[in-house]
Amino acid sequence: MEDNIFDIAFDLGGTRYTGWVNPSDKLNDYGRPVSYHVVLNDTSFGYLSCNNCKWVVNEELPDRLVQKVGAEIEKHLMMDKKTKKDATQQGG
């Protein structure tokens, strides 16, 4: 879904990465998307998923970068969850 796409940006190893994440419409048992299509610096990074508490991607990429992208997704999910909780508490 287009409304679920969100931007990410971070620095790692002296490189600035910017891009976007498109969560899958299919959800896992915990209500989270089963995978995330990620584009960084105008290049497809691949499809990330969390497997046994570790982020994995369908491409050959440095694990450090994969884990950083996963951490950025987690950060967004936590902020999104907090925003929704705050809106509910305020009657919105």
Of 82 and 76, more confident: 76
Average pLDDT, the chain: 89
- What pLDDT does residue 82 have? 66
Distances (CA, A) of 22 to 36, 81, 90, 92: 5, 17, 28, 25
| pLDDT tens, position by position, 31-75 | 889 999 999 999 999 999 998 889 999 999 999 999 999 999 999
Query: In this structure, are residues 57 and 21 in contact, taking their beta carbons and an 8 Å threshold?
Result: no
- What pLDDT does residue 53 have? 87
CB atoms within 10 A of CB 11: 9
